[in-house]
Amino acid sequence: MRTHMCGELRFSEVDKTVSVCGWVASRREHGSQLSFVDVRDHTGVIQCVVDNEVDVRSEYVVRITGVVRARLEGTTNINLPTGEVELGECVVEVLRTAEPPPFPIDSRADKVDENTRLQHRYLDIRRERMQRNLRVRAKVNSAIRGAMEAQEFVEVETPMLVPSTPEGAREFLVPSRKDPGSFYALPQSPQLFKQLLMVAGVDRYYQIARCLRDEDLRADRQYEFMQLDAEMSFASQDDVLEAISKAVEAAAFAVTGETPPPIERMTWRDAMETYGVDKPDLRFGMTLVDLTDVFSATEFKAFSGAASIKGINASGKAEEMGRNKLDGLTAKAKQMGAKGLVWLKVAADGTLDSPVAKFLSADEQAELVQRFAAVAGDLILIVADEWDITCEVLGTLRNDLGRPPVWQGPYRYVWVTEFPLFVGVDKETGKPKPGHHPFCRPHPEDLDKFETDPMSVRALAYDLVLNGWELGSGSIRIHESDLQRRVFNALGISDEEADKKFGFFLRPFEYGAPPHGGFAFGIDRLVAIIAGEENIREVIAFPKTQSGTDLMTGAPTPPNAKQLAELGIRVLPPKA
């Protein structure tokens, strides 16, 4: 039907007779003798000159045949890539008329309520922004496949109807018709299957896998999302990180044309000490400075004896942070479990302006100014508490005060390694809880601390972080039963209970599980950041709203009585 795409016509095509197909982006009529029709396809827009009357309206689908010609002098349009040429002597065929769209099919719709965009997603996707995002996504998928295949990973598809597993995210359940009262679960990840593929000798597996989790939605979370899921046998942590790095770098290169610098590494401990979060945003400073030693002999009661005292310097923020906002920060710190928040403003004469300044000695004040390299107009925030609270509170305040939008460059990837094996304590059993999942391999250097100091045991577990967003995580797994038993013991899970809960998963390991480890990262998140979006809905063709509905199709909808009867399901009346 067409010989060229709209956006590709250039000076080099002059004098050629061409046909283009697309949608009417706009028309400008100058009487019955002359009108301009801009035709759009996903490659761009070309101006077509019609010398007679045509009745075409916005978004009519047309095929236009004409001769490419240079535009008259003074009428080129520098805003259009095709702006040096136009189609003349046009014959217009209307392939389909169209209703006026509910919003303009261009960048003006960026301001349209997302409701409306989602209700008419097929029109939203017609826009350049969405076309670009979906094509970025396709490039990322393709580059990842290429990188994984070049490293001899084998793509294996795993089932979508799987058994419900005891731990982890809430699952979507699918009723069984053949066995009423029984349900499949939709997979929150292919974890079980990929590890069994290692037992099966696949050696290197990958899949661009759809994962489903019935947890509340966010800007960076959808019920369904895509992950690069991978697992390797006979591999060290370095092997896994290197393999995944290649996939990420290939994806970035495919879109930006630049290979990012080698992805740096940071231990979890260092991330918490310096950034106060396990997903540090390395694009800005305001790092946490340790002050515990400064106040080791302080008279100030709030600081004296505190396990960990740290602070951040919000450079130049003293002026804009009035009493109200500081009270807000304090309230947030307290809500997060801190006993309080100390703030000090550096005055023009270099002295510290703060309600607590009078409790601090001259030496302490001088040392503070020096540690933060503080100058007039700076705002220093200090928390004194248990180490984890001090870090978390300041990390949160640091992000609140300084973090740029996630898409803003430069891209700062970082591997966060050596996550703790256990995090927190189960309120009921008094036993440690797994930081990740109970199959993560403990750090070999910490094996002797297992029974004596379990909370200090590190795991061979790692996250990949980009601009403060967690892209994904992975670990080296436990492949031997004796080590697995020690972990279960530390978790307070008896052999009997372990067999009951996880036997289906662990029993196959008895047939010869190789040492293995893997990783999974979220493609939606990676694409969003590379595409310059701060919401993954912008890189998903048909996303759901925060309450989990699809505004275009109306899903979810109630089933009919026949469906329910077949499934042996009776629906309870809604709660009063």
Partner RNA sequence: GGUCCCGUGGUGAAGUGGAGUUCACGCCGGCCUGUCAAGCCGGAGGUCGCGGGUUCGAACCCCGUCGGGACCGCCA
For residues 530 and 140, the answer to whether their CB atoms sit within 8 Å is: yes
CB of 40 or CB of 345, closer to RNA: 40
Which of 52, 75, 370, 563 touches RNA by CB under 7 A? 75
CB of 143 or CB of 536, closer to RNA: 536
Smallest gap from residue 57 Cβ to RNA (A): 5
- How would you write 137-189 as a 3-class SS string? HHHHHHHHHHHHHHCCCEECCCCCCECCCCCCCCCCEEECCCCCCCEEECCCC
Which of 1, 12, 15, 31 touches RNA by CB under 7 A? 31
Which of 1, 12, 100, 319 touches RNA by CB under 7 A? 100
Distance, CA of 341 to CA of 368 (rounded, Å): 16
Distance, CA of 109 to CA of 131 (rounded, Å): 14
Within 512-571, where are the H helices? 523-530, 561-567
Smallest gap from residue 390 Cβ to RNA (A): 16
Smallest gap from residue 431 Cβ to RNA (A): 13
* Residue 80 interacting with RNA (CB under 7 A): yes
CB atoms within 10 A of CB 35: 20
* Residue 481 interacting with RNA (CB under 7 A): no
* Residue 98 interacting with RNA (CB under 7 A): no
- Residues of this chain, 484-543, that bind RNA according to CB under 7 A: 535, 537
* Residue 557 interacting with RNA (CB under 7 A): no
Which of 66, 190, 276, 434 touches RNA by CB under 7 A? 434
* Residue 47 interacting with RNA (CB under 7 A): yes
CB of 107 or CB of 296, closer to RNA: 107
Kindly give, in sequence order, each residue whose CB lies less than 8 Å from that of residue 439, ignoring residues fewer than 6 positions away: 195, 475, 477, 478, 484, 487
Smallest gap from residue 572 Cβ to RNA (A): 14
Closest CA to 271 of 462, 61, 443, 26: 462
Distance, CA of 365 to CA of 280 (rounded, Å): 29
* Residue 256 interacting with RNA (CB under 7 A): no
For residues 567 and 561, the answer to whether their CB atoms sit within 8 Å is: no
* Residue 13 interacting with RNA (CB under 7 A): no
CB of 87 or CB of 289, closer to RNA: 87
* Residue 131 interacting with RNA (CB under 7 A): no
CB of 351 or CB of 545, closer to RNA: 545
Burial class (CB in 10 A: 0-12, 13-18, 19+), 178: exposed
Burial class (CB in 10 A: 0-12, 13-18, 19+), 152: exposed
* Residue 185 interacting with RNA (CB under 7 A): no
**Which tokens is 483 given?**
């080590």
Smallest gap from residue 434 Cβ to RNA (A): 5
Beta strand ranges found along 277-407 (DSSP E):
289-290, 308-314, 342-346, 352-353, 379-385
**Which tokens is 189 given?**
């990840």
Distance, CA of 72 to CA of 511 (rounded, Å): 78
Closest CA to 334 of 378, 392, 400: 392
* Residue 96 interacting with RNA (CB under 7 A): no
CB atoms within 10 A of CB 79: 7
DSSP 11: G
Per CB under 7 A, the segment of 4-12, 66-74, 144-152, 248-256 that binds RNA is 66-74
* Residue 102 interacting with RNA (CB under 7 A): yes
* Residue 330 interacting with RNA (CB under 7 A): no
* Residue 26 interacting with RNA (CB under 7 A): yes
* Residue 221 interacting with RNA (CB under 7 A): yes
CB of 30 or CB of 323, closer to RNA: 30
CB of 29 or CB of 270, closer to RNA: 29
* Residue 115 interacting with RNA (CB under 7 A): yes
Q: How far is CA 488 from the centre of its chain?
A: 31
Residues, the chain, total? 576
For residues 535 and 524, the answer to whether their CB atoms sit within 8 Å is: no
CB of 181 or CB of 558, closer to RNA: 558
* Residue 238 interacting with RNA (CB under 7 A): no
CB of 9 or CB of 289, closer to RNA: 9
CB of 165 or CB of 237, closer to RNA: 165
Smallest gap from residue 318 Cβ to RNA (A): 25
For residues 168 and 159, the answer to whether their CB atoms sit within 8 Å is: no
Distance, CA of 411 to CA of 391 (rounded, Å): 24
CB of 109 or CB of 344, closer to RNA: 109
Closest CA to 167 of 438, 426, 428: 438
CB of 36 or CB of 542, closer to RNA: 36
Which of 8, 67, 76, 139 touches RNA by CB under 7 A? 76
* Residue 475 interacting with RNA (CB under 7 A): no
Kindly give, in sequence order, each residue whose CB lies less than 8 Å from that of residue 413, ignoring residues fewer than 6 positions away: 248, 260, 263, 264, 464, 465, 466
Smallest gap from residue 28 Cβ to RNA (A): 4
Which of 3, 16, 17, 34 touches RNA by CB under 7 A? 34
- Residues of this chain, 191-210, that bind RNA according to CB under 7 A: 191
* Residue 320 interacting with RNA (CB under 7 A): no
Task: Please count the residues of this chain forming the interface with RNA, following the rule CB under 7 A.
Answer: 68
Distance, CA of 381 to CA of 415 (rounded, Å): 28
CB of 280 or CB of 438, closer to RNA: 438
Smallest gap from residue 129 Cβ to RNA (A): 10
CB of 180 or CB of 424, closer to RNA: 424
CB of 345 or CB of 525, closer to RNA: 525
Angle between helices 128-150 and 237-256 (to 10 degrees): 140
Site residues for RNA per CB under 7 A: 26, 28-34, 36, 38, 47, 49, 57-58, 71-72, 74-77, 79-80, 83, 86, 88, 100, 102-104, 106-109, 111-116, 165, 167-170, 188-189, 191, 213, 215-221, 433-438, 535, 537, 545-547, 549, 551
